[in-house]
Structure 1
C-alpha cells in the first residue's frame, strides 16, 4: 500500500495515483518489495567514493555498514554518488571544485525522495562540500568520515602524511639527504586506507564536524581501518532514522553557537587554516553570520593542547588512543573554555553531555591547559594596507621569533615565476627577506591552490635557514608548517594591494597585534595599481568558458568563504512536484 503522507518521500511514493504508481514501480525494478514503501523514512547515503580519491577509496564498505544501521532502525537506505573532489590527484586543486561538489549534493538531495541523508566524507574538501550542499537544503543530516590512515613508517620511526613530504623535500634541497632517501619514504607514508594522519585539513574538518555537532562523538579520530569506524557508521545509520522522526534538521544544529565552539576547537587542536574558509562557507549556506574577526574574538587566547604534526609530535592514531576530540572538548569545558556547552548535536544531546565524562588516556598527546604546545593557538587574523579584508596565519605552525618581523620583499608574480626563480643562485634574498607570491587566490589561480607554504631558497636551506616569513593570496595544506601569511584579501587578481608589491619594499608583520603593513604610501600604491591591470589574466582565463568562467565570475574572496555569490543562503528542500 502507498505510504501515508508523513515524510518528505511521501511526495513521491505516498499516493495511489499515476505518479505514485510510476515512482514505486521504477524503484521496484531493483527488487524492492511493497512493504518498503509503507511509510518508513527513506535515507540517502551521499557517497564520495572514488578510486581517484585515495582517502575515500574504502567507502563502499563504509556505506554497507551505514545501510545495516538504517535498516535496523526501520528506515530504507538508498546510496547515491556525488562528485568526489580529492586533493591528492585533482588539478589545479580540489578547492576549485568544492563549490561544484556542493551544488551536486544540494540538487541530488532536493530533487530526490530523501527524508534524511548520511554524508560520507573524508578527503579535505569533501567534508565542507557535503555540509554546504546539505545545509542549503536543511534536512536531517549526519556526517560519517572515513577516518585517518595508520601512522606512516620510515627508517623505524613514525612519519606523518603530507608533513614528511615538506620536511624531506627541503632536506633534499639542502643537501642533507639523497633523492634515494627521499623516495624510500614514499610507500611508507601512506600504508593504509584513510585520510592524512596529521592534523591536516581532512582531520581538521573531521574535528570541525564533530565540534559543530553534526557527527557522533569520536567520528573525527577513529582510524580508517579500525573496526570501531564501522561500528560508528552503523550507529550513524541508526541515528539518522530517529533524526528524521524527530525532524532534527541541520538548522537546529548548525547555529552561531556551534560555529563558535568549532573556532575554539580549531585553536585547541592546532587545526588547518583552511577551516577559516570552509566554516565561513558552511555558515553562509545556513544563513549564520560568521566573520573573519570572529576568529580573533573567539579563538585568540586559546592554548593549543593537541600535540600533533605538523605543529607537534604525534599522529592521529595516538590522538584517538588518547581520547580523541571528546577528551579535548572535556578538557576545554572543565576549564570553562568551551563557549557553548548547551549546543545541540545530532544525537539529540548537548555537546557537553556528549563529552563531560569522556576518558583521557595520555597527557602528552592531549596536554593539560597549563602545559600547552602553544600558549595562544587561535588563528591570527591580520589586517593592514596589504590586506584590507584580512589575511590569516597559523601560530602553532609558525616560528615565534618571526611572529614580529620586518623585511624586504622578494616578489614572485605567480607560482610559475616562483618555481622558475626560487633556487636561482643569483636570487637576491637573505634570511630576513619576506617571500611574496601574487596571483594565487581564488580568481588568480582558479581555486586558490595550496602553494602558499613556499619552499625556501636552496642556498638559504644550505646555510641552515629553516623558516622565513611568506605572504600570498594562496592557501596552504593543513599538513604544512612555517610562518606563512595566507588568504590575503582582496587577492592580487581582484585588484588587491598585494598586486602592487615590488622587490625591495619593506613589509612589517606583527601577528600578535594583527598587523600586516606594506611601507608604501597610499598614493604610490594607487599609482602602481593604476599603471597595470592585475585582473586581466583572470578575465582572460574566464573567457575560455565552461566551469572556469562560472568560477571566476562568481567566486567570493577568501574572507567570505570562496563560495559562489549565488549559492549563499539556505534554499530549503522544497521542489515543484512533477506530474507524469
Structure 2
C-alpha cells in the first residue's frame, strides 16, 4: 500500500494506523491493508429516490468486480435526490449533494470511487463532486425502466403524464381513465424511459468518457447492467494503478463531444446547466454559446419522446448510443479519451443500426439542425435556451402579446380563466436559481382550458426556470439574468409584444429601451421571491450563479483537487 492515498490512514505501526485498521477490519481479509486499493462506491440508492432503488443490487456486482481485481470495495451512501418527490425542486440540492459527496470522498481513506446514479440530479452531482476531488472515478448509470402500456399504447413516463393531463383539462379524457394509467406508467425499476434528463445525463456520462464503454442506456432490469457493473469494478482498480483521474478524461474536447451527442439524441435542455457546472468544477472552458455553435447544425437522429415516438428500451435494441455516435463520428474530437485510456471514437468502430425507425442515418435525420439554440435580446441579455426539436415549427418565429404570471402560485390561480388567445405568449417569472429558489421545472406551463378545447396544444412560453427533460413544446427557458437577479423579464407587462425569432437567435420585448428602463418590478413578483433566513436555502440564494454559467455556487467553481483531511487523533 506504500504510496497509495489510503496508506496515509492505514500504513505504519503507530496508534493512528492501529485505530484506522482495527475499526475497519470487521471481516476484511488479512491482506486488505497490504497494498490493495480501497475504493468507495458512492451509492445514491434510496427508497425515496424511486428511480435509484435498485442501485444496492448494482453495487453488489461492482463489489464482485473490485474483489476479483484486487480492490477493497466500500459502500458509501451519499445524498440522493428523487426528482418526483422532493420539494420544492431537486435542483435546489444538486449543489449541496455535490458538495457533500466531494467532502466525503476527500475525507475518507479511499484511492478511487465508482459513482452510482440514475435520477436526474444524481449523475450531475456525482460528476461535479468527482471532478472537484479528482480521484480516479467512473460512473455506472442506473439505466432506464422498461416501457409500460395503457390502452394498447406505449407510455413515455413524464411526457405522457403531460399529454394525458392536458387531455383531462381539455375534456377529452376522463379523470377516472387518467388515474387508471397511473399503474401502467412505471413498469419496472429504473429511471424515466423517455429522452428526459436522467436518460440524457446517463448517456452523456459515457460520451464524456466517464463510463465503461457500451454501458450507458442499458435498461435497469437487463442483466447486462449487472455484467457491466462487475466489469466496472475491475476497471476502477486498473484506473487507480494508472492514476487516470477525471481531469485527464474530462477535457474541453469531451464536453464538445457531449454537445454533439446532446443534439443527435434530442436530449434534455437541463444538460446545458449540468455540463456547464461540471466543466466549471474542472476549470474547463465551456460557455452557453458553445451549445449553439457546436450543436445547432447537428442532425436529430433518435426518434424518442419527447422529440419523437419511441422510448429508451427501443433505443437500446436499435443499437444504442454507439450506433448514434457512429453516425456523427466525424464531428467528435478524436483525442478525447474514456476511463479505459482509449479515445472515445475508437469504442464504436463496427456498429450497426438495427432499427432505422428508432435511430436514423445521417442522410435521413428526423431534423437537419436539432441542437439547443441560445437566444439573446433585450429580454435575455445573458441568454436563454430553446429546444427546437421539441417545439412547434410554426411558432419558432412568432410575435404575440405577453400574458404575465408573477409566480408559480399566480399561474396556478389564474391559468384556467386568463384572457388569452393562441397568439399570446405566456410568461412565468420569479422561477430562476435565486427567485424560487432552485430553478424549478415549471417552464412548460399548462395551456388554458379554453384553448385546449379549441384544439390548441402548443403556445410560446417563456420562463427563467427550467423544464423537465420529458416535456415538450415551444418553451424558452433559463432566461438570464432571472427576474430575481434584476433581469428584464421582471419588467414585462401583460400586453407587451414579445418577439421570438429562433432562426436569428433573438428574444425581445417590443418596448423602447427608455420606457423599459424606467419601469419598476412588479410588487407581486418581488413579494413572491424566496427569502430564506437559515440553512442551505439561505447559503444557496446568497451564492448561486445564474443559469448561463451552470447555476453552481460561486465558491465551488474551480477544481480544488485531492488533499487529505488533517489528522485529528
Q: Tell me if TM exceeds 0.5.
A: yes
1:502–1:120 Cα change, 3 Å: same
SS in 2 for 1:37: coil
The yes-or-no answer on 1:568 pairing with 2:564 is no
2:473 to 459, 463, 482: 482
- Inter-partner Cα distance in structure 1 for 2:526 and 2:286: 28
- Give the match for residue 541 of structure 2: 552
- Inter-partner Cα distance in structure 2 for 1:487 and 1:79: 36
1:144 to 130, 140, 145: 140
Q: CA deviation at 1:512?
A: 1.2
- Inter-partner Cα distance in structure 1 for 2:429 and 2:41: 41
- Give the match for residue 356 of structure 1: 349
- Inter-partner Cα distance in structure 1 for 2:547 and 2:359: 31
Map residues 532-543 of structure 1 onto 2, 5 A cutoff. Answer: 537-538=528-529, 541-542=531-532
SS in 1 for 2:554: coil
SS in 2 for 1:488: coil
- Inter-partner Cα distance in structure 2 for 1:185 and 1:220: 28
C-alpha distance after superposition, 1:457-489 (max 9, x if no partner): 000000001110000001000000000000000
1:63–1:508 Cα change, 3 Å: same
The yes-or-no answer on 1:94 pairing with 2:90 is yes
C-alpha distance after superposition, 1:162-200 (max 9, x if no partner): 111000011111111111111111111101000000000
2:514 to 498, 523, 547: 523
SS in 2 for 1:566: helix
- Inter-partner Cα distance in structure 1 for 2:146 and 2:415: 34
C-alpha distance after superposition, 1:384-426 (max 9, x if no partner): 00000000000110000000000000010111100111111xx
- Inter-partner Cα distance in structure 2 for 1:75 and 1:575: 20
Q: CA deviation at 1:359?
A: 3.1
- Give the match for residue 259 of structure 1: 255
Q: CA deviation at 1:125?
A: 0.2
- Give the match for residue 298 of structure 1: 294
1:12 to 2, 9, 13: 9
SS in 1 for 2:115: strand
- Residues 523-532 or 205-214, more deviating: 523-532
Are the equivalent residues in 2 in contact too, given 1:174–1:462 (CA < 8 A)? yes
SS in 1 for 2:357: coil
SS in 1 for 2:149: strand
Equivalent residues, number: 569
C-alpha distance after superposition, 1:301-360 (max 9, x if no partner): 111000000110100001000111111111111xx222x022110012110111122232
The yes-or-no answer on 1:179 pairing with 2:175 is yes
C-alpha distance after superposition, 1:46-72 (max 9, x if no partner): 000100000000111010000001011
Map residues 89-128 of structure 1 onto 2, 5 A cutoff. Answer: 89-128=85-124
- Unaligned runs of 5+ residues in structure 2 are none
C-alpha distance after superposition, 1:203-259 (max 9, x if no partner): 000111011010112222111000001001001111000000000000011100000
RMSD across aligned positions (CA) = 1.2
- Residues 350-359 or 383-392, more deviating: 350-359
Q: CA deviation at 1:531?
A: 7.9
- Inter-partner Cα distance in structure 1 for 2:38 and 2:351: 33
1:324–1:530 Cα change, 3 Å: closer
Q: CA deviation at 1:534?
A: 6.1
Q: CA deviation at 1:535?
A: 5.6
1:170–1:34 Cα change, 3 Å: same
Are the equivalent residues in 2 in contact too, given 1:409–1:507 (CA < 8 A)? yes
- Give the match for residue 410 of structure 2: 417
1:376 to 351, 369, 373: 369
C-alpha distance after superposition, 1:242-277 (max 9, x if no partner): 000000000011100000000010000000000000
- Inter-partner Cα distance in structure 1 for 2:237 and 2:161: 42
Are the equivalent residues in 1 in contact too, given 2:407–2:528 (CA < 8 A)? no
- Give the match for residue 270 of structure 1: 266
- Give the match for residue 189 of structure 1: 185
Q: CA deviation at 1:526?
A: 1.5
- Unaligned runs of 5+ residues in structure 1 are none
